[in-house]
Amino acid sequence: MKIIFLEGENLGEDMVFTPFLHLGEVTIYPSTSEKEMPERVKDADIIVANKLPMCEETLKDAKNLKLVCLTATGINNLDGEYLKKRGIHACNVAGYSTDAVAQHTFAMLFYLWEKLSFYDDYVKSGAYMKNRSFSYFSQRFYELSGKTWGIIGMGAIGQKVAGIAEAFGCKVICYSASGRKYQLPSNRKQVDFDTILKESDILSIHAPLNSQTENLIDLQALKKMKPTSVLINVARGPIVNQEDLYTALTQNMIAGAGLDVLKQEPMAEDNPLIKIQDSKKLLITPHMAWAPVETRFRCRDEVVKNIEAFLAGEDRNRVY
């Protein structure tokens, strides 16, 4: 079996690939462009990739291809109809990053909620040394207890976030863009879109990107949110309209936003959000919520198990 890694560096410079070596002949490319892809996969039996498109244009010369393994949960880069037509199986990894993404959700929230960039700068500037009082809190901030935390997408990550939010004393409400009816404990409530926008003090997004969620958070949605609210997106960039978010933040329609994902990654030079340099208002991280050391190595191990299952004639995490 010829196993071709197309985006090895996406798992980190510290990644160890030896668990794959017993599975076949392994070739690892740190990165691959769409233009380079057809040549690199033409003899592959198995492809391991992350964001590259898996479609006729990139795979037509891969005559031996039997399996595509993603080092990710999202499958937007897979042309399912083409893969099924060719009889090519495809697997993702699911559930490996739940704790990590929930952790990052709260890291972003607290950074914004308690104006931590301002207070860190205040101390390090030397201003605190000249303060007459032992304490300084010119930028107002609030307790989480008693606030309403809205969650869009109550899958594994959404449920993890809900549990942590409740531990801080938040009331949790949720919304499903697909209309799915969640099975919820009595202390959580599923609401419609207008309600989650209007009632949430914190609104976090943990939903997949699809036709129902793309541009879900647009200007009309942002206008319905509380001017004191904070938006967190650790799901997929296109769920939030970037231009509309820029308008909402610069016109103080909401208090702040934390984004780990963007419409284009790496960030496009013309992204209007780069103009907002106030870290009390906007925090952007480079799609890293999934990337603690343990999480990345767990992702690797899940891909190994997917390939082992395939070679044994079993389906594991199969999406096509």
> In the block, which residue shows the tokens 């409740």?
166
Estimate the crossing angle of helix 98-113 against helix 156-167, to 10 degrees: 50
In angstroms, the CA 140 to CA 158 distance is 28
Q: Per DSSP, what are the bridge partners of residue 288? A: none
Spatial CA neighbour of 217 closest among 268, 207, 79: 207
Find the DSSP H helices in 228-275: 242-250
Catalytic residue among 89, 104, 188, 236: 236
Show the tokens assigned to 298.
């767990």
Show the tokens assigned to 206.
């943990």
Spatial CA neighbour of 23 closest among 306, 317, 319, 298: 306
The β-bridge relationship of strands 256-259 and 148-152 is unpaired
In angstroms, the CA 8 to CA 28 distance is 6
Q: Phi, psi at residue 46, to the nearest 5°?
A: -135, 135
Q: What single-letter amino acid sits at 142?
A: Y
In angstroms, the CA 289 to CA 22 distance is 31
Q: What angle do CA 221, 179, 75 make, to 5 degrees?
A: 85
287 annotated active-site: yes
Report the Cα–Cα distance between both ends of the chain, in Å, rounded: 20
What does DSSP assign to residue 253? S
Catalytic residue among 25, 56, 265, 314: 265
Task: State the chain's maximal CA–CA distance in angstroms.
Answer: 75
Catalytic residue among 89, 104, 206, 287: 287
265 annotated active-site: yes
89 annotated active-site: no
Residues catalogued as catalytic: 236, 265, 287
